Chain A
């Protein structure tokens, strides 16, 4: 197996009684990347994640995490990964430090190891001052930070995050994004679910769009957006200059960063590699040909467009006929 592949999922499926939650999932996650599972509620993201962290046995298919089978070598997988659940899974009666001490025992760390690790993590998530208060006094953002510290306690190679910023305010969200990026810088692979397009776009190196229990498309946010045609410029020419349009088209076509040019009734649609560089070049060509322009518009497809193109509906529309995520 390619050493860069840390998770290999092959035709994984899960049914709950008569309900198929996910079906025929295949994907790989590469070392050191942030891999996102994007989809609406009930799409099967959490189910997929819970199979990978070995708390839910798959109905069909197989998957390996760091080369270990999630069913037959579940214990080895568990010792190598960290998990940050979707719910605020904190014990309201325990302090932040006690949570981490508990997990230290469960990961079989020695007391000294645990304490060193706790100091490190409390600093990372800025909870040092609140470490000895019981969790019921924590805000939503603080609980989330504690959740993340808990997920990192075993010093995992891969961290799984289920909806890491669900229900958080903007500031806490940005903070959490920072931590996640920091983890990647430290060489940790991240697998996360999200139903926020912006989060997937900003944070993920690659993502799989899941809807109705199946993967619709996989790629980097840029690839996915480019797949829809990529960036384009729409040039509108002054009405009395319309006869110059074919010449302008030829001139633009000759530019190195231009991939395709189409005529439209009032001007040109230009598909470009890099809008920043091609925009001045297009203007230059127009000036050289003495062709008066009425305006230039710049389009970049958003992840929303990608989502709609691959699922047939918007992310917020949801899919009422699919299984509820429990």
Chain B
């Protein structure tokens, strides 16, 4: 079976001096949950941005769902993002003057057309059925992140990419959000997380550790636990 995501010798340099990614090669299969870990500045967010077509690599090859991202023009990259990718950020990034429901509908709006019923159902599934008419400022951090998850999944993307999705949440909300991710995984979604948190990364099928822009340890959580090489 062809991998959903395939990176070969992917390199990203800034100004020809700083090498954020250095000859990175990974593959992610359909339905897999992969956690990308590493220290701050190791290049894990850059890796996520490449796969999300938010940034362009300097060299190498990058295929997602049979599409060569290196060959895509800017507007086709935008189309790729709205059709193939659901993005979740640590800072939530909700539009402050739109309600929770409208924030979810915004992703529909850029994808094709808005459907209030579908957006409301997505919010119900993340436990926000009663708070869909609230503005982001009226929601807690955990609730805001759940709106982001609803927004990320509303267009049924092939891949859900999350950058430190629990980074701004307390442990109670972290558990709530992780439960949603487990449900999404069980439903067959492909998840790729960037996280510092070993507790989060251990819940993935597979972990990729990045250091100075290179893959240093592609482990399954079970192997890492067995070898006791957690970097806690």
A, B bound? no
Interface residue ranges, A against B (CB under 8 Å): none
Interface residue ranges, B against A (CB under 8 Å): none
